[in-house]
Amino acid sequence: MADERKPGFQKVFKDEVFLKTLSETPKTTTQITKVVGCSRDTAARALKRLAESGLIEMIEIEAGTRTGKMYLWKKKQETRRRMK
């Protein structure tokens, strides 16, 4: 018998949700995913897009992870001023 369940929907997370999570104190991708409630891949894509647009800063540090690096994210000062 074929599976007749309809495919679920994918929750969409707006950039504002990620921006509200960030502050001047750098946070890891994992910390951000816990606050936002999204997957690591979703957070990574959104954060990279925000960094490329100049709204947030990505800080790469060496880490004992599989890739040997870890990313920290924080709002740029001008972004904090704009959001007040």
| Spans of all domains in the chain | 15-83
| Among 25, 27, 54, 59, CA closest to 43 | 27
Please measure the distance between the N-terminal and C-terminal CA atoms of the chain and give it in whole angstroms.
56
CATH 1.10.10.10, applies to 15-83 = yes
> What pLDDT does residue 2 have?
46
CA distance 32 to 14: 14
> What pLDDT does residue 82 have?
59
pTM to 2 decimal places: 0.75
CA distance 83 to 16: 10
Q: How far is CA 79 from CA 22, 23, 43, 51, in A?
A: 10, 10, 19, 11
Q: pLDDT tens string for the chain (84 positions)? A: 444 545 555 678 899 999 999 988 899 999 999 999 999 999 999 999 999 999 999 999 988 877 788 899 999 876 555 555
